[in-house]
Protein backbone atom coordinates (compact mmCIF):
# COMPACT_ATOMS: atom_id res chain seq x y z
CA UNK A 1 0.00 0.00 0.00
CA UNK A 2 2.76 2.39 0.95
CA UNK A 3 4.26 2.09 -2.51
CA UNK A 4 1.36 4.17 -3.75
CA UNK A 5 3.05 7.15 -2.13
CA UNK A 6 5.86 6.91 -4.67
CA UNK A 7 4.51 7.76 -8.09
CA UNK A 8 6.79 7.13 -11.08
CA UNK A 9 7.48 10.85 -11.66
CA UNK A 10 8.30 11.36 -7.98
CA UNK A 11 10.79 8.48 -8.07
CA UNK A 12 12.36 9.88 -11.22
CA UNK A 13 12.56 13.28 -9.61
CA UNK A 14 14.15 11.75 -6.53
CA UNK A 15 16.85 10.03 -8.58
CA UNK A 16 17.40 13.10 -10.74
CA UNK A 17 17.97 15.14 -7.61
CA UNK A 18 19.88 12.53 -5.69
CA UNK A 19 22.41 12.54 -8.53
CA UNK A 20 23.64 15.18 -6.09
CA UNK A 21 24.82 18.07 -8.09
CA UNK A 22 27.44 19.68 -5.88
CA UNK A 23 27.17 23.45 -5.64
CA UNK A 24 29.53 25.89 -3.96
CA UNK A 25 29.07 27.94 -0.82
CA UNK A 26 29.37 31.57 -1.87
CA UNK A 27 29.73 35.03 -0.36
CA UNK A 28 27.38 37.33 -2.25
CA UNK A 29 28.72 40.83 -2.46
CA UNK A 30 27.83 43.74 -4.70
CA UNK A 31 29.21 46.85 -6.27
CA UNK A 32 27.16 48.91 -3.81
CA UNK A 33 24.29 48.78 -1.38
CA UNK A 34 20.90 48.23 -3.03
CA UNK A 35 22.21 46.46 -6.16
CA UNK A 36 20.18 43.32 -5.46
CA UNK A 37 22.31 41.06 -3.26
CA UNK A 38 19.25 39.82 -1.36
CA UNK A 39 17.34 39.17 -4.57
CA UNK A 40 20.21 37.21 -6.11
CA UNK A 41 20.80 35.29 -2.85
CA UNK A 42 17.10 34.34 -2.82
CA UNK A 43 17.17 33.39 -6.51
CA UNK A 44 20.22 31.18 -6.00
CA UNK A 45 18.67 29.59 -2.91
CA UNK A 46 15.60 28.63 -4.94
CA UNK A 47 17.77 27.06 -7.64
CA UNK A 48 19.96 25.20 -5.13
CA UNK A 49 16.86 23.77 -3.46
CA UNK A 50 15.31 22.86 -6.80
CA UNK A 51 18.48 20.87 -7.52
CA UNK A 52 18.06 18.99 -4.23
CA UNK A 53 20.88 20.79 -2.43
CA UNK A 54 20.28 21.63 1.23
CA UNK A 55 21.16 25.29 1.31
CA UNK A 56 21.64 27.52 4.34
CA UNK A 57 21.33 31.29 4.18
CA UNK A 58 23.24 33.77 6.27
CA UNK A 59 23.26 37.54 6.62
CA UNK A 60 25.92 38.12 9.28
CA UNK A 61 24.91 41.68 10.12
CA UNK A 62 21.46 43.10 9.55
CA UNK A 63 20.62 46.73 10.11
CA UNK A 64 17.41 48.70 9.97
CA UNK A 65 15.59 46.43 12.44
CA UNK A 66 12.81 48.53 13.94
CA UNK A 67 12.46 48.80 17.71
CA UNK A 68 10.34 45.91 18.98
CA UNK A 69 10.57 44.03 15.68
CA UNK A 70 11.71 40.38 15.68
CA UNK A 71 15.14 40.59 14.01
CA UNK A 72 14.70 37.10 12.53
CA UNK A 73 11.79 38.44 10.47
CA UNK A 74 13.26 41.85 9.70
CA UNK A 75 14.79 43.46 6.62
CA UNK A 76 16.51 41.13 4.18
CA UNK A 77 15.86 38.13 6.44
CA UNK A 78 12.12 38.19 5.77
CA UNK A 79 12.43 37.48 2.02
CA UNK A 80 15.30 35.04 2.55
CA UNK A 81 13.18 33.16 5.10
CA UNK A 82 10.29 32.92 2.64
CA UNK A 83 12.33 31.20 -0.04
CA UNK A 84 13.90 28.64 2.30
CA UNK A 85 11.99 25.39 2.13
CA UNK A 86 13.67 23.82 5.17
CA UNK A 87 11.74 25.89 7.70
CA UNK A 88 15.12 26.87 9.14
CA UNK A 89 15.42 30.62 9.07
CA UNK A 90 18.42 32.45 7.71
CA UNK A 91 21.19 32.92 10.26
CA UNK A 92 22.35 36.30 11.48
CA UNK A 93 24.96 37.13 14.10
CA UNK A 94 24.24 40.80 14.75
CA UNK A 95 21.11 42.94 14.36
CA UNK A 96 20.99 46.72 14.72
CA UNK A 97 18.35 49.41 14.42
CA UNK A 98 20.03 52.20 12.44
CA UNK A 99 20.20 51.44 8.73
CA UNK A 100 23.88 52.37 8.45
CA UNK A 101 27.20 50.60 7.88
CA UNK A 102 27.77 47.72 10.34
CA UNK A 103 30.77 49.44 11.99
CA UNK A 104 28.70 52.53 12.74
CA UNK A 105 25.58 50.61 13.78
CA UNK A 106 27.70 48.60 16.23
CA UNK A 107 29.46 51.71 17.54
CA UNK A 108 26.09 53.43 18.11
CA UNK A 109 25.01 50.35 20.08
CA UNK A 110 28.22 50.60 22.12
CA UNK A 111 29.73 47.33 20.90
CA UNK A 112 32.30 46.10 18.41
CA UNK A 113 31.47 43.36 15.93
CA UNK A 114 33.49 40.21 16.59
CA UNK A 115 34.22 38.36 13.33
CA UNK A 116 34.98 35.21 15.36
CA UNK A 117 31.32 35.09 16.41
CA UNK A 118 30.26 35.28 12.75
CA UNK A 119 32.77 32.57 11.90
CA UNK A 120 31.38 30.29 14.62
CA UNK A 121 27.78 30.86 13.46
CA UNK A 122 28.86 30.16 9.89
CA UNK A 123 30.63 26.94 10.86
CA UNK A 124 27.54 25.72 12.73
CA UNK A 125 25.29 26.45 9.75
CA UNK A 126 27.74 24.87 7.28
CA UNK A 127 27.82 21.66 9.32
CA UNK A 128 24.04 21.31 8.79
CA UNK A 129 23.95 22.18 5.07
CA UNK A 130 25.38 21.12 1.72
CA UNK A 131 26.09 24.74 0.82
CA UNK A 132 25.73 28.14 2.45
CA UNK A 133 25.01 31.44 0.74
CA UNK A 134 26.21 34.43 2.75
CA UNK A 135 24.94 37.89 1.89
CA UNK A 136 27.38 40.66 2.75
CA UNK A 137 26.34 44.17 3.72
CA UNK A 138 26.86 46.96 1.19
CA UNK A 139 29.99 46.39 -0.91
CA UNK A 140 33.33 44.67 -0.39
CA UNK A 141 35.09 47.40 1.57
CA UNK A 142 32.35 48.15 4.05
CA UNK A 143 33.81 48.06 7.58
CA UNK A 144 32.61 45.69 10.29
CA UNK A 145 34.93 47.14 12.90
CA UNK A 146 38.22 49.08 13.07
CA UNK A 147 40.23 46.12 11.73
CA UNK A 148 37.86 44.11 9.58
CA UNK A 149 36.19 44.93 6.28
CA UNK A 150 33.59 42.82 4.48
CA UNK A 151 36.41 41.48 2.27
CA UNK A 152 38.29 40.30 5.38
CA UNK A 153 35.16 38.51 6.55
CA UNK A 154 34.81 36.69 3.21
CA UNK A 155 38.46 35.65 3.58
CA UNK A 156 37.93 34.43 7.15
CA UNK A 157 34.92 32.40 6.02
CA UNK A 158 37.06 31.04 3.14
CA UNK A 159 34.31 31.78 0.65
CA UNK A 160 34.57 32.77 -3.01
CA UNK A 161 32.70 35.86 -4.14
CA UNK A 162 29.81 36.39 -6.43
CA UNK A 163 29.50 40.06 -7.37
CA UNK A 164 26.08 41.54 -8.04
CA UNK A 165 26.28 44.51 -10.41
CA UNK A 166 23.96 47.08 -11.89
CA UNK A 167 23.25 46.97 -15.62
CA UNK A 168 23.51 50.72 -16.17
CA UNK A 169 26.16 53.34 -16.80
CA UNK A 170 28.99 53.28 -14.24
CA UNK A 171 28.79 49.54 -13.68
CA UNK A 172 31.99 48.72 -15.60
CA UNK A 173 34.02 50.91 -13.26
CA UNK A 174 32.27 49.68 -10.09
CA UNK A 175 32.50 46.03 -11.11
CA UNK A 176 36.15 46.24 -12.14
CA UNK A 177 37.02 48.02 -8.89
CA UNK A 178 35.33 45.24 -6.91
CA UNK A 179 37.00 42.45 -8.90
CA UNK A 180 40.37 44.13 -8.65
CA UNK A 181 39.99 44.65 -4.90
CA UNK A 182 38.99 41.00 -4.44
CA UNK A 183 41.91 39.72 -6.45
CA UNK A 184 44.41 42.00 -4.68
CA UNK A 185 43.29 40.38 -1.43
CA UNK A 186 43.52 36.85 -2.76
CA UNK A 187 39.76 36.32 -2.83
CA UNK A 188 38.40 34.08 -5.54
CA UNK A 189 35.67 35.50 -7.77
CA UNK A 190 33.22 32.94 -9.14
CA UNK A 191 31.69 35.57 -11.38
CA UNK A 192 29.36 38.51 -11.76
CA UNK A 193 25.57 38.56 -11.90
CA UNK A 194 24.05 41.62 -13.53
CA UNK A 195 20.75 42.36 -11.86
CA UNK A 196 17.58 44.23 -12.80
CA UNK A 197 18.41 44.27 -16.48
CA UNK A 198 15.95 46.33 -18.51
CA UNK A 199 13.56 44.65 -20.94
CA UNK A 200 14.76 47.02 -23.63
CA UNK A 201 18.47 47.60 -23.08
CA UNK A 202 20.01 50.69 -24.63
CA UNK A 203 23.48 50.62 -26.20
CA UNK A 204 25.18 51.06 -22.80
CA UNK A 205 23.32 48.19 -21.10
CA UNK A 206 23.81 46.03 -24.17
CA UNK A 207 27.58 46.60 -24.11
CA UNK A 208 28.18 46.35 -20.34
CA UNK A 209 28.10 42.54 -19.81
CA UNK A 210 30.64 41.92 -22.58
CA UNK A 211 32.82 44.81 -21.43
CA UNK A 212 32.82 43.51 -17.85
CA UNK A 213 33.89 40.03 -18.99
CA UNK A 214 36.56 41.44 -21.26
CA UNK A 215 38.12 43.95 -18.88
CA UNK A 216 37.56 42.16 -15.57
CA UNK A 217 38.51 38.74 -16.87
CA UNK A 218 35.76 37.05 -14.85
CA UNK A 219 32.59 35.52 -16.26
CA UNK A 220 29.20 37.18 -16.23
CA UNK A 221 27.34 34.16 -14.93
CA UNK A 222 23.84 35.49 -15.51
CA UNK A 223 21.79 38.53 -16.35
CA UNK A 224 18.65 38.78 -14.23
CA UNK A 225 15.72 40.86 -15.49
CA UNK A 226 13.36 43.04 -13.49
CA UNK A 227 11.14 40.67 -11.47
CA UNK A 228 7.47 41.57 -11.42
CA UNK A 229 5.81 42.06 -8.01
CA UNK A 230 9.03 41.34 -6.11
CA UNK A 231 9.87 43.45 -3.08
CA UNK A 232 12.58 42.77 -0.53
CA UNK A 233 11.13 45.40 1.80
CA UNK A 234 7.65 43.81 1.74
CA UNK A 235 9.07 40.25 1.63
CA UNK A 236 7.11 39.68 -1.56
CA UNK A 237 8.57 36.94 -3.76
CA UNK A 238 6.66 37.99 -6.87
CA UNK A 239 7.78 36.01 -9.91
CA UNK A 240 11.21 35.14 -8.53
CA UNK A 241 10.73 31.36 -8.82
CA UNK A 242 9.71 31.62 -12.47
CA UNK A 243 12.54 34.05 -13.23
CA UNK A 244 15.07 31.84 -11.41
CA UNK A 245 14.14 28.89 -13.61
CA UNK A 246 14.25 30.98 -16.79
CA UNK A 247 17.64 32.47 -15.87
CA UNK A 248 19.02 29.02 -15.10
CA UNK A 249 17.75 27.68 -18.39
CA UNK A 250 19.18 30.57 -20.39
CA UNK A 251 22.58 30.88 -18.67
CA UNK A 252 23.08 27.31 -17.36
CA UNK A 253 23.79 28.96 -14.03
CA UNK A 254 23.71 25.84 -11.84
CA UNK A 255 25.79 23.89 -14.31
CA UNK A 256 28.42 26.63 -14.33
CA UNK A 257 28.44 26.90 -10.54
CA UNK A 258 28.70 23.13 -10.23
CA UNK A 259 31.61 23.08 -12.68
CA UNK A 260 33.28 25.89 -10.76
CA UNK A 261 32.99 23.84 -7.59
CA UNK A 262 34.44 20.73 -9.24
CA UNK A 263 37.40 22.75 -10.47
CA UNK A 264 38.06 24.80 -7.32
CA UNK A 265 36.89 22.92 -4.23
CA UNK A 266 38.41 19.62 -3.09
N1 LIG B 1 15.61 41.94 -10.34
C2 LIG B 1 14.83 42.74 -9.60
N3 LIG B 1 13.54 42.95 -9.93
C4 LIG B 1 12.74 43.76 -9.21
N5 LIG B 1 13.15 44.42 -8.10
C6 LIG B 1 14.42 44.24 -7.70
C7 LIG B 1 15.32 43.39 -8.43
N8 LIG B 1 16.51 43.42 -7.79
C9 LIG B 1 16.37 44.22 -6.73
N10 LIG B 1 15.12 44.73 -6.66
C11 LIG B 1 14.60 45.68 -5.66
O12 LIG B 1 15.64 46.64 -5.47
C13 LIG B 1 15.83 46.93 -4.10
C14 LIG B 1 17.27 46.53 -3.68
O15 LIG B 1 17.43 45.14 -3.81
P16 LIG B 1 18.12 44.29 -2.64
O17 LIG B 1 17.44 44.57 -1.35
O18 LIG B 1 18.18 42.87 -3.07
O19 LIG B 1 19.58 44.96 -2.66
P20 LIG B 1 20.77 44.64 -1.67
O21 LIG B 1 22.01 44.77 -2.46
O22 LIG B 1 20.53 43.37 -0.98
O23 LIG B 1 20.65 45.85 -0.65
P24 LIG B 1 21.33 45.95 0.82
O25 LIG B 1 22.71 46.50 0.57
O26 LIG B 1 20.41 46.90 1.52
O27 LIG B 1 21.34 44.59 1.44
C28 LIG B 1 14.73 46.16 -3.36
O29 LIG B 1 13.61 47.01 -3.24
C30 LIG B 1 14.38 45.02 -4.29
O31 LIG B 1 13.06 44.57 -4.10
MG1 LIG C 1 20.29 42.96 1.06
Give the pLDDT band (50/70/90) at residue 10.
low
CB neighbour class for 263 (10 Å; exposed up to 12, middle 13-18, buried from 19): exposed
For ligand 1, whether the C-beta of 157 sits within 6 Å is: no
Atom of ligand 1 nearest to the CA of 238: 4
Spans of all domains in the chain: 36-159+227-264
CATH placement of domain 36-159+227-264:
3.40.50.300
**With contact defined as beta carbons under 8 Å apart, do 133 and 9 qualify?**
no
Atom of ligand 1 nearest to the CA of 138: 25
Give, rounded to a whole angstrom, the gap between the first and last alpha carbons of the chain.
Answer: 43
Model confidence pLDDT, tens digit, residues 98-120: 999 999 999 999 999 999 999 99
Model confidence pLDDT, tens digit, residues 71-85: 999 999 999 999 999
Considering the entire predicted model, what is its pTM?
0.93
Distance in Å, CA 11 to ligand 1 centroid = 37
Sign of the C-alpha dihedral computed for residues 220, 196, 173 and 79 taken in this order:
negative
pLDDT at residue 11 tops 70:
no
Give the pLDDT band (50/70/90) at residue 2.
very low
Amino acid sequence: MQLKLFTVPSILRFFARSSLIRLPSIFITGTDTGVGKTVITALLALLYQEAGVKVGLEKPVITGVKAGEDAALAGDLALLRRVLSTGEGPVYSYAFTPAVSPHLAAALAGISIDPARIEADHARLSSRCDAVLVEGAGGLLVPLNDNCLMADLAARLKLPLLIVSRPSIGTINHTLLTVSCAQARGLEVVGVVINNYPARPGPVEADNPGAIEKFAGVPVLAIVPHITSLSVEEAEEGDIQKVAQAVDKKFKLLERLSRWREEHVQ
